[in-house]
Amino acid sequence: MQNKRGLLIVVSGPSGAGKGTVLAHTIVNYPTLRYSVSVTTRKPREGEVEGVNYYFKTLEEFEELLSRGEFLEHQKVYDNYYGTPLSKVKQQLDEGFDVVLEIDVKGALEVKNKYPDAVMIFISPAKRETIEERLRGRSTESEEQLKIRTASAIEEIKQAVFYDYIVVNEDVARGAADIIAIIEAEKCKVKNNKKFIDNLIYGGN
């Protein structure tokens, strides 16, 4: 029934909210959903794979891509740059896939300004204490970095008011189910089915 073009879905949330885990579960259970792999200048963490988790670039390579206008959005986060490859996102949307961007709040609002129809979802932990617990569980940050990231996470939560939906990550399966429900609801909106309605009125396929 819906238009063939996919939905652009923007997901944000503070460090320690479990965004990646919830999205991974969502993608496994929703076959038309595709994850947009970001470009970053930060070094890979243990277990991260090029082209799966990120496209890892030097600062010079990133700046070259930026100068050619190849990012839908880009931001500097904790002394590293991140960007969303524009051409890949457009290709997947045109092919009818729903594309999810897992990006920070500033990048999300930049995308919303360019694509007002983007579906904005904020993933939040159920409790404030969960943020530091999850960050500490990574064992990748110093105590000073933990304090900075925790404070930054609280500031990000303040920006949730600019999103369309909030998903509280108390349980991964439930969080993924909530995201799928949001996508299904968006696909049933009249604005996303204008071609279908026109075909009913005027005929056509």
Query: Which pTM does this prediction carry?
Result: 0.83
CA distances from 173 to 30, 131, 133, 185 (A): 12, 19, 20, 18
Backbone angles phi, psi at 99, to 5 degrees: -110, 130
Query: What does DSSP assign to residue 51?
Result: T
pLDDT tens track for 98-146: 999 999 898 999 999 999 999 999 999 878 777 767 666 655 667 777 7
The 10s digit of each residue's pLDDT in 165-183 is 999 999 999 999 999 999 9
∠ CA 165-170-174, rounded to 5°: 70
* Burial of residue 14, with CB atoms counted within 10 A of its CB: 0-12 exposed, 13-18 middle, 19 or more buried: buried
The third-level CATH classification (topology) of the domain covering 8-36+97-202 is: Rossmann fold (3.40.50)
How many whole angstroms separate alpha carbon 15 and alpha carbon 205?
45
How far apart, in Å, do the first and last CA atoms of the chain sit? 10
And the tokens for 5?
Answer: 């073009």
